[in-house]
């Protein structure tokens, strides 16, 4: 894996992107849903 990463930096970049961005998107959706639910209950 280490050799593969050093040969293809784009690949590791893609993996980093996937590891960071996807959870951020999921977290954002979860937060939005929670906020919507709470404001629905309150309002």
How many domains does the structure of the chain reveal? 1
pLDDT score of 41 more than 80: yes
- Residues spanned by the domain of 12: 2-42
Let me know how long the chain is: 43
Q: State the Cα–Cα distance between residues 9 and 25, nearest whole angstrom.
A: 24
If you average pLDDT over residues 9-29, what whole number do you get?
Answer: 84
* pLDDT number for residue 3: 55
Average pLDDT over residues 29-35: 95
Residue 6 pLDDT more than 70? no
Residues in contact with 12: Cβ distance below 8 Å, sequence separation at least 6, in sequence order:
5
Q: Examine the pLDDT at 5 and tell me if it is beyond 60.
A: no
- Residue 26 reports pLDDT greater than 70: yes
3-state helix, strand, coil in the chain (%, to 5): 95, 0, 5
pTM for the full predicted model: 0.53
């Amino acid at each position: 894996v280490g050799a593969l990463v050093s040969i293809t930096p784009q690949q590791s970049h893609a993996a980093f992107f996937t590891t960071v961005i996807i959870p951020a998107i999921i977290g954002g959706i979860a937060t939005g849903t929670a906020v919507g639910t709470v404001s629905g209950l309150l309002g």
